[in-house]
Amino acid sequence: MENITLFHGSNQVVEAPELSQGNIHNDYGRGFYCTQIEDMAKEWACKNQKDGFVNRYELDMDGLRALNLCDGNHTVLNWIAILLKNRTFRLRSPIAIDAREYLIEHFAINITSYDVIVGYRANDSYFQYAESFVENTLPLRSLNRALTLGKLGLQTVLVSEKAFKQIRFIDAEPVNKTIYYPKFFERDTNARQTYVAEIAKSRSYRDDIFVLDILREEMANDDPRIQRILFE
């Protein structure tokens, strides 16, 4: 495999990332969260309305096992199931509590055998989509469209010691909040507007799927009804 360039937006220069410093309650658990898009990392560096840094790295992919949740072989339900295992959800109803257990059991992927994960970044907007779906208020088709159209970007996450041994720091560049915070804010606002638009369009649910349908029908990952919605 070839080397890939990664960018990490931060409030500091990170020359030697360490797996042990990662937060176990992040999207994919403990890891080092990066992106392959430099401007995206610059926006993340200024998300708190402060100047930051974009750190650039080269990752040697040779011998690394990579899981790409957006490669067409996995679905948004796999992504949500992983989030449910790692992130803290507000489960405000019996349906949501049952949905968490069911989705983890039937849709979660064991990521412990992987070194690198590529997938959606669950910022506030995307996390809102996930919570609404688990609460049975957002149907699967709208969830899938909102994630696709939201354009909040993908993240590449190092999740094993092996991966950390194969990443090399190249340099770091200061990032100006007056330039990149407005871009961060605009991207997030557009994602929220996309969510609202999808809710408005979801007026007919007769051919859609809610999480309660998945529970009642005991649907699995390869269920043709789910495949029809996600790949139409």
Task: Give 127-163 pLDDT, tens digit per residue.
Answer: 788 888 999 988 998 888 877 766 667 899 999 999 9
Is the pLDDT at 93 greater than 60? The verdict is yes
Question: Is residue 175 scored above 80 in pLDDT?
Answer: yes
* Three-class secondary structure of residue 82 per DSSP: helix
Domain range for 78 is: 3-230
pTM of the model as a whole: 0.88
Residue 200 has pLDDT above 60, yes or no: yes
Quote the pLDDT of residue 143: 85
Kindly report the average pLDDT of the chain as a whole number. Answer: 89
Write down the pLDDT at residue 120.
86
Pairing of strands 154-158, 32-34: antiparallel
Bridge partners (DSSP) of residue 60 are: 3
The DSSP H or E segment spanning 193 is helix 177-201
Query: Of 43, 38, 47, 46, which Cα lies nearest the Cα of 7?
Result: 38
**Residue 220, φ and ψ in degrees, nearest 5:** -110, 175
- In the chain, the number of structural domains is 1
Please give the Cα distance from 93 to 185 (Å, whole number).
Answer: 31
